[in-house]
Chain A
Amino acid sequence: GENVEQHPSTLSVQEGDSAVIKCTYSDSASNYFPWYKQELGKGPQLIIDIRSNVGEKKDQRIAVTLNKTAKHFSLHITETQPEDSAVYFCAASHQGGDYKLSFGAGTTVTVRA
């Protein structure tokens, strides 16, 4: 099955700096890659996603890049703010396939004021 690895496991950044989280996947059939943000006591919230026919996608301060050849994708958060502090998860699935999301282990991001 699909195996998703996520790095780093923890990330501390100064407010205003950028944060980058990287994920690799194993199954070349995976073609949908969402990112979720989970705050304490809440369920994961979708923040951005990308499909395999696109190399990059941006939404305000958040961007995701995908390298299908290398089987890795990354989340970039610019101009970080204290409210960006949370656990971030990457995931992969096969669109039109089994609908199962395979998740990375998560990255705890702390934004220092």
Chain B
Amino acid sequence: KAGVTQTPRYLIKTRGQQVTLSCSPISGHRSVSWYQQTPGQGLQFLFEYFSETQRNKGNFPGRFSGRQFSNSRSEMNVSTLELGDSALYLCASGLDRRGTDTQYFGPGTRLTVL
């Protein structure tokens, strides 16, 4: 079974631009979560989607948004990029059945904001 895939793997943007990142979960997984990883703040939860609905959101500004499609693929968008948005953005998918909270991560998208 293929793992979680994320595209693109690397991205360079300038301040003020906006960016869209894509995530395809493991086949059959319906839950998709997004995390930001930086050297200073570590791994921080952004949001989680299940059946096209945002089920949970972390403490990030409204510039960070996401959505999930009917095939469970997900995108996240960051508008008005700031230098501090430079990070590795990780997507994780899960089955979301009782007793199965396991989340599997993709390789991430490395975003650099200049």
Contact = CB atoms under 8 A, between A and B. Distances in A.
Nearest to B9: A41
B102 interface: yes
Interface residues of B, number: 27
Contacts of B1: none
Interface string A90-113: 010101101111111110000000
Given A34-B102, A43-B106, A45-B105, A99 B48 contact: yes
Nearest to B45: A100
Nearest to A106: B42
Contact of A89 (B43, B55, B92): B43
A95 B101 contact: yes
A42 B102 CA distance: 18
A103 B101 contact: no
B107 A42 contact: yes
A104 B4 CA distance: 22
B84 to A, nearest CB: 18
A100 B101 CA distance: 10
A91 B90 CA distance: 15
Contact of B55 (A49, A99, A104, A105): A99
A103 to B, nearest CB: 4
B64 interface: no
Contacts of A46: 102-105
A49 B102 contact: yes
Given A34-B102, A46-B102, A46-B104, A100 B42 contact: no
Interface in B66-105: 90, 92, 94, 96, 98-99, 101-105
14 contacts: A32-B101, A42-B107, A42-B108, A43-B90, A44-B90, A93-B101, A99-B48, A99-B50, A99-B103, A100-B33, A101-B33, A101-B92, A102-B45, A104-B42
Interface of A: 32, 34, 36, 41-46, 49, 51, 89, 91, 93, 95-96, 98-106
